Chains A and B, each alone.
Chain A
Amino acid sequence: MTLIADAFLILGALFCFLGALGVVRMPDVYNRIQAGTKAVTLGSLALLLGVGLHHPDWWPKLLAVGLFILLTNPIGSSTLARAFYNAGVPVWNKRRPGP
């Protein structure tokens, strides 16, 4: 059980790292927002699952935190992307790179 929990902890931290790497490497605001949101949400949920496997009596609070992240993070980033698009932030195109 401890081995599975440690595997989930490392997986979650790795996905958080990859999401942050995507935020740095992607060429556009919209690419950055989707890389950051999806990978970091998955990483946070895996890390919460690992913590819950280590301490089984913390499940209710961990479930609250996980459900909150799972519900609000995509809503927040979708709202941000729509606000950027409505405000006229340019969309990256391969033929004319750079906004």
Chain B
Amino acid sequence: MNMGTVDLIVLALLGAASALALLRLWIGPRSPDRIVATDTLAVIATAMIVFLALLFDSPLYLDVALLYGVLAFVGVIALARAIEGNRT
């Protein structure tokens, strides 16, 4: 892996995005804010894992990204069901 300027810029922007989502996760006044921050953070982490596949030059990380996306989606749906209650 050899990192150029573009890779550093992309990593800095993605790291700043994760830091902002973590800030909302930290200071969120109520639990829905934290759930929204977790959802955003999961998609940012998926994009970051795909970028790590480019950085490490190994397509194995794409499978990891797909699995992470699936698990985040299932978690979000489960949280939504738990909030909504057994209404449906």
Output the nearest chain A residue to B12 by Cβ-Cβ distance: A13
Contact size class for B? 35 or more
What residues on A are CB-neighbors of B66 within 8 Å?
61, 64-65, 68
Q: B6 touches which one: A6, A16, A76, A77 (CB < 8 A)? A: A6
Q: How many A-B residue pairs have CB under 8 A?
A: 157
The answer to whether A10 and B46 have CB atoms under 8 Å apart is no
Interface secondary structure of B, over-half rule: helix
The answer to whether A65 and B18 have CB atoms under 8 Å apart is no
The answer to whether A51 and B18 have CB atoms under 8 Å apart is no
Q: Which of A35-66 contact B (CB under 8 A)?
A: 36-37, 40-41, 43-44, 47-48, 51, 54-55, 58, 61-62, 64-65
What residues on B are CB-neighbors of A9 within 8 Å?
6, 10, 51
What residues on A are CB-neighbors of B76 within 8 Å?
76-77, 79-80
How many residues does chain A have at the interface if contact means C-beta atoms less than 8 Å apart?
A: 48
Given contacts A16-B44, A23-B40, A29-B32, contact A86 B17 (CB under 8 A): no
What residues on A are CB-neighbors of B44 within 8 Å?
16, 19-20, 40, 44
The answer to whether B39 and A24 have CB atoms under 8 Å apart is no
Output the nearest chain A residue to B62 by Cβ-Cβ distance: A61
- Distance A29 CA – B83 CA, assembled complex (angstroms): 14
What residues on A are CB-neighbors of B69 within 8 Å?
65, 68-69, 72
CB distance from A42 to the nearest CB of B (A): 11
